Structures are given as structure tokens and as C-alpha cells.
Amino acid sequence: MRASRLLSILLLLQTRGRMTAQALADEFETSIRTIYRDIDHLSAAGVPVYADRGRSGGFQLLEGYRTRLTGLSPAEAETLFLSGLPGAAADLGLGDAMAAAQLKLLAALPAEGRIGAARIGSRFHLDPIGWYRNAEHTEVLPALAEAVWTARRIRIRYDAWTGVTERELEPLGLALKAGVWYVVAQAGGKPRTYRVSNIQALELAPETFERPAAFDLPAYWQAWVRDFEARLYKGEATLRLSPAGLKAICNISPAAERAARAATDVDAAGWARVVVPIESIENAASDFLKLGADAEVLAPPDLRARMGEIAGRLKAIYAAEGA
């Protein structure tokens, strides 16, 4: 713990310049006396740190002294600042580790580059949560991350489509997609994907497992996503969309957006004929109702009939209210 704090003090002095004992104590939530002892240890280790007394005094490093992260250019360090996801790191229980890593990255930069890296956090913000959605509950995520890292077996209570089940898994990796965490784990020697928010309880087993040497998490994930989308969309619907409907359908799903952007059959009034992948008649009817009078379902017949049935019921409801 002390070694980590000593390194952090060194990097803070390098990054921020002169700091008082009280400021350092506040930063590390420790006593001023502890900070004085830490400064003594740094001096004994050959770090040229000295103190200025007085109201504007404090500790600082000898001018020109730097500890460097060798091999890391300023541009590379700035890129790493941009690529970090503080929310994801906090979910995994790594928020403090990310803060420490960013401090070390700042220390790797010259003074002018340090200003540019610090500016990144104030000008770029990454928010992986979709619109009109809250972050999912992921209390088990730190324990899951530990199990993935140490190749520990886990026992979970999982809320699946078929009901709540007890499962024993060998976790291989974690993936974050659109603000939703998934764990990829072996069950019966075959990797499967589980939504972390559906895990109601988790227990780390004492035994470890042999991780498959050939398993490639990014390759598995890409293949799984393609397969999931192929299984999800079991049919197609042909729609006639107004210009406004052509824009609005892009908010329904990525597949609908791709279909809308590929539309080429447009009449003189600007209405386009679009073929959209759908999950089911009921799901499609619910989605397409959001488009109102800016969409007409042409096919399949079952979906067109369902849209007409719902429209008729709505007409009856509002006609009765106005009577």
C-alpha cells in the first residue's frame, strides 16, 4: 500500500507541480504526518523532492527531474485517455486502477502534451447507455471479472427465458454491448453467452479450470452477434414509408435503419418501399405502430391484417370518447 502511495505522490508532484502536505493528505485520505514520512522515504530513495516553507510553500521535485513511462509517445498516451471508459471500469471494480493509470499516463507527457491530454476529458465523453434506458444492475460484475481473470469456476442462479435455473459455468470473458454486460462461459465444454443482469446470485467456486488455448473472445463475440441477429429476425415485412417515416424507422432497430438507408424504390411523392427484417407479427406490429400514418404495411398479409385490426380498435376507442 505504501509503495503504491509513494509512486502516486511522485507522479502527482511531477504532474501538478508544488503541492502542500495538506493537499497530499486530502488526496490520499491519510494524515499529514504520514505524508511527511512518505516524503522522507522518497528522499531516502534518491528522489529529489524538497520543501518550501511559508504560506505558499509545499513539496515539489527538483526542476527537470522526471520519471518516464518509456516507449509511450504523447500521441499514444492521449489516445489511451480517449479510449478509457470510466463507467465500465467502475462496473468492473477498477475505477481506482483507471484513475491511477491515467495519472501515470499524464506523467509520461511533457508539460505541453500534458495539457492536451487533460483537455481530452473535458471535450470528449463516452456514454455507452442507449437512449431512454438506465444502466443495468451489475452488482456481481466485480466477482465475475475476478473469476474470468483467475479462471475460477462459478455457480450462478440465472433468470433464463424458461425460468430460474442453477448453473455451474467456466467464465471465459466479459463483453459490453450498448451498455449491457454479457459473460461468455463454458457449459458442458461449449461456450455460451449470458446476460449479467439476469444473474440473481453468484458464488465463486474454489477450483479453477483450464482455459481453452484456442478460444478467441473477439472472434467468438462477432460470430455470436451475427448468429443472434439471424435467429432473432425470422421474417421480413414490406413497408411503404413517407419521407418522415423513412427517418423515423431508423429509430426502431439497427436492421430497420440499414434497410431504410438502402431504399432505392421511391415514388414521385417521396414515399419509399422498404423491406425490413422482423422478429414476429406482434413485435413488428408494435414497432410499426410508432410510425403512425407515415407507414403502410404491404406484406406479409398476416402483419397487414394485424395492423388493420389494431387501427380499427383504436378508432373505436377514440370514436367512443368523442361521442
Answer for the pair 200, 157: CB distance below 8 angstroms, yes or no: yes
How many Å apart are CA 256 and CA 270, to the nearest integer? 18
DSSP state of 160: E
Residues in the chain: 323
Collapse the DSSP code of 140 into the 3-class scheme (helix H, G, I; strand E, B; otherwise coil) and give the result.
coil
pLDDT tens for each residue of 285-296: 999 999 999 999
Identify whether the C-beta of residue 263 lies closer than 8 Å to the C-beta of residue 197: no
pLDDT of residue 291: 94
Report pLDDT for 3: 65
Compute the chain's Rg from CA coordinates.
29
What is the model's pLDDT at position 284? Answer: 94
CA distance 176 to 5: 31
Q: Please give the average per-residue pLDDT across 187-210, as a whole number.
A: 92
Confidence band for 70, pLDDT divided at 50, 70 and 90 = very low
Read off the pLDDT of residues 237-246 as tens digits, 9 standing for 90 and up: 999 999 999 9
Q: In the chain, what are the domains?
A: 2-61 (1.10.10.10), 74-123 (no CATH), 141-230 (2.30.30), 234-322 (3.30.70)
